[in-house]
Structure formats: C-alpha cells, structure tokens
Structure 1
Amino acid sequence: MKKPTRHHRRDVEMFPFVAITIAATFASAAQYAPRSQYVPSEMHGWKIYVHRRLIEQDVEVYEQTMKLLDVKLHDIQRVVPAEPLRELRKVPLWVEADNDHEFPCICYHFSKRWMAQNGFNPIKVDSIEICNASRFLRWTHAQPWIVMHEMAHAYHHRFLGRNDVRIKRAHRRALKSKRYDSVLRYTGNNVRYYGLKNAREFFAEMTESYFGVNDFFPFNRGELRQYDASTYQLLRSIWGEPPGATNQDDLDFYETSS
C-alpha cells in the first residue's frame, strides 16, 4: 500500500485536487456490486459467493455451475493432502455471470491495487473468481482441473510466496532445456507449453498434472514423473504425496492380470 504523499502547496490550491480525488473514489466504489448482491454458501469447506444477477437471469447456468463446482471441489479435497488443503480452503470463490473484461473464464486475484485500476471489486482480493459462468461450463470440458490451477496460484501466493526460489529455478530449467517448446495438447497439435510463460503458470500447470489431468503434456502424474522427474519431486516436496498415489491393490490387480 502506498504511503500518503506530502504536498507543499497552499491548502487553497489543494481543494480542486481533493475534490477530484474524492469524486473519483466514489465513482470507482459505485461501479462495484455491494456484498449484499452476492448469495453466500459453503461447499466442501470453501466459501462461495454468487452474484444474484446470475441466479435471477439464468437459473439453468447457475445450477449447472454450482453442480460442476461441487464436483471440482470434491475432486480437489480427495487428492490434496490435509495440510495444504487447509490452506486452500481459506480461499473464497466468487461466481459472476459475465465479469470477463480482463479474464475470459476464471482467475485468482492477488493485487488489490491492480483490481481497483482494472475494474475488479477489491473485496475479491486473495480469492478465485469465476468471471463468466457459461464459459466456465464450456472450458472445463478441455481443462477439467482448471479450478485446481487457480488454487495452485493461491497457494503459491498466500503460502509459499510468489518469489519461491525452488519454483523459479524449476521454471528456468524448463526454459533452458527446450523440452517444453513443443508439446502435445489435447487437440492433437503440438504447441508451446503454457507453463513456460512464467514461474507462476509453470507451478499451476504442473500442479494440474500432478493431481489430475492437464490439457498440455505431461497430462498426468505418471507422465510428469517419467518426463520431468526433478519437477515431479519438487511438486511432491511442496504438496506432499496424494492419497492413493501408490494404490497397492490396484497395482497388484493389473500386474497379476497382465
């Protein structure tokens, strides 16, 4: 947060500036829906806030979104170990009909200042926002662990720290290796790995593969472990071993039946 700036002009010269600043502040605040416009609920230990406009204008999309979110949060709580799961449950989720002027589908908000400057309500800071419920329903077909992706951003920011040197080092190693310059995507096309964009996206993308299914190769934990063992071990050290990661009776069944 910025410290107040000292002004050395005479008070009379400050009046227009103060008036403009106050007017801008009120105008900025007025554009946001008040908290009373959001219907609160709880789902698998997470707090959810849904804009009333979505409920009133498109009840079908609202109901489908809540059902899908229930599934996604259920899946997350099944695979994330207890200690990091406690931290993730501190991250609220906000659901909008079409607040998608900057982010088309879903995002994690970490900067109150940036939010205020770009038309997002600062009360959503340190939260995940589903910016467009209809698009969320569509995009999750191809990106089934997109909620976990945003949860990884939250964990990185709130718990690990955005400048975690281990994650930065892993990202630099991936860039230098050029092994991710052209990888398979779910479409069957080879593309540049999205996680190369920066260390934050690298961690979030790899977390999708570690716990679930990614839309970029490596698609799952087994492929990640085989293709990039050092990143796999990093994720294991950060998140812990997922429940059922080495399910012995499952392994025994397929080994004896093959």
Structure 2
Amino acid sequence: MHLKHLCNSGSAFLLLSYFALILFTPASEERDLISPGPRLDIRGWTVHVDKPLNDSPKLRDEVLRLLNQKLWEVEEWLPSAAVQRLKKVNLWMRLNEPSAPGGVYHPSRTWLLENERPPEMAGGIEFGNAKNFLSWARQQPSMVLHELAHAWHHQVLGYEYAPAKTAYQRARESGNYADVLYVMGGKKSAYALNNVQEFFAELSEAYWGTNDFFPFVRAELLVHDAESALMIQNAWTLSAGSRAPSKPGS
C-alpha cells in the first residue's frame, strides 16, 4: 500500500507526525536532566544525590562519608554565622556528569538554561563526578570550602564587593602569585589569578583550610599577602544579614 493511502487514516497521520518529531527534533533539546534520587540532610545542608550515584551504594556511601567530613571541617573553621548562612546552599552529588568533572557553584539560572543544564541547581553547588570527588580531595582538601566560598562571594558579598576586587588587582600587579609552589610539585601561576571569584575562593582556602597552591595555609598567607589576608578575614565576618542575598538567575 502506498504511503498516500495510509495518510487517509487519522492513526496513520499521527504515526507520521511522530516520526517527523523524531527526525526533526534539534539535538539541542537533549538536555542534561538530573535523575531524581534521595534528598538528604547532612549536617544541616540539603544534599541531592542523583539516581545513578544512589544506585551505586558502595561509591555513594564513600562520597557521602567524605562530604560529611568536609562539611564538618567547614563548621569547625568558619564563623558560625557564615556557616548558618551557607547551609541554605543546596549541594548536588552526581555519578558522572561530563560537563562538571569537579565542583562548580552555579550562580545563574539563566546560564544553566542557556547551556541546557538543570535550572534547579541555580544558587547551589554541583559535584559532577563521584570518583573525582574522592580522588581530587587528596590534593585539594578544601574543595568543598572553595565552592562554598563562591556562594558566599555571590550571595552575601556580591561580585562587586570592592575589597576583593582591590586585593585581586593588587595581587595581579605585584607578581607575587605568578610563579608559586604547587602541591603536586614544581611551580605554577596561582589558580587565584584566573579572576576575582577564584582569587576570593583560593585565599579563603588558605585562610581557613589548606590550599593546593602557595600560600597553602594562613600563616603563609599572612606573610605573603597580609592585606589580602585581612580582606578575607573581614569578608567572612561580615554579617550574613548585612546585604540582601543575590537571586540566582541574574
């Protein structure tokens, strides 16, 4: 039977419409969708575990044990008012999202939509690869703090926070971060030089925890860049209620 005869029936028309939809749906509509898994409370943080990770119980349990340890460290290190504010930041733990091999703070719902990422992660932190989360923690022991520092910078201080911008510009001009020791050996340009957001997060690691680039810890930061150390101290003791939080998605 010829195709034109099939088209005379309503069911055949629906069938053809279905095939056309398959053939002509743009690839861009293939979105990164989070398979829903459990939503947990870990030390007061809301933690979303995607289904693929939840279906790998041994790996999931290792990841959650390490996350619990890292959040305990944050509670021990940071001022209590800052910790309470940061507990409003949701965490997303995923098995293997190729676009997020490490940790990433998502400030913008608009960016997530434009890049076909789950918009519900706006204002939250995604750790996209469970195995990397476990292995990278060895050389980046303060990586959870690092991402929470991005959230603090965006939601509490604001990216236009002048003391951070001034300290970053001074650091770039001084050359003091251009060739520094790296935890895995040798010297590199400090990751802090990438932009003011990374500068704030990296120095927060050094001031409160342990960074993977020199200055590694607070005592070294105080000698290497005392003005930036003071900026970090003041930024984290700023009352979380002194500025209206930024709305994710701008």
TM-score by length of 2: 0.81
Structure (1 or 2) with the greater helix fraction: 1
SS in 2 for 1:48: strand
* Equivalent residue number for residue 68 of structure 2: 70
Q: Within 5 Å, give how 1:117-128 maps onto structure 2.
A: 117-128=114-125
Aligned to 2:113: 116
CA distance in 2, matches of 1:27, 1:190: 43
The CA distance in 2 between the partners of 1:100 and 1:214, in whole Å, is: 25
- Check whether the contact 2:202–2:211 (CA below 8 A) recurs between aligned residues: yes
Identity of aligned residues (%): 34
The SS at the match of 1:42 is: strand
Find the aligned partners of 2:215 and 2:127 in 1 and give their Cα distance: 26
1:135 aligns to what? 132
Per-residue CA shift, 1:175-221, capped at 9, x if unaligned? 00001110001122110010001000000000000111110000000
Deviations 1:89-111 (A, max 9, x none): 1101011111132x321110011
3-state SS in 2 of match to 1:144: coil
Q: Any stretches of 5+ residues in structure 1 without a counterpart?
A: 1-22, 242-258
Considering Cα pairs closer than 8 Å and 6+ residues apart, tell me whether 1 or 2 has the greater RCO: 2
- How far 1:38 sits from its partner (Å)? 2.3
Q: Any unmatched runs of 5+ in structure 2? A: 1-24, 239-250
Q: Return the alpha-carbon distance in structure 2 between the equivalents of residues 199 and 143 of structure 1.
A: 19
Q: 1:87 & 1:161 partners in 2: Cα distance?
A: 14
Larger Cα-atom Rg = 2
Calculate the TM-score normalised by the size of structure 1. Answer: 0.79
Tell me, in whole angstroms, the C-alpha distance in 1 between the residues paired with 2:71 and 2:138.
16
Distance verdict in 2 for CA 1:233–1:119, change over 3 Å:
same
Q: Which residue, out of 202, 209, 213, partners 1:212?
A: 209
Q: Distance in 2 between matches of 1:158 and 1:113?
A: 16
Aligned residues: 214
Deviation at residue 240 of structure 1 after TM alignment: 3.3
Name 1:238's counterpart in structure 2: 235
SS in 1 for 2:38: strand
Does structure 1 residue 200 correspond to structure 2 residue 197? Answer: yes
The CA RMSD over aligned residues, in Å, is: 1.9
1:114-138 deviations in Å (ceiling 9; x for gaps): 1112231000100001111111101
Following superposition, which runs of at least 4 residues in structure 1 exceed 3 angstroms of deviation? none
TM-fit CA distance, 1:31:
5.0
* Alpha-carbon shift at residue 27 of structure 1 (Å): 4.2
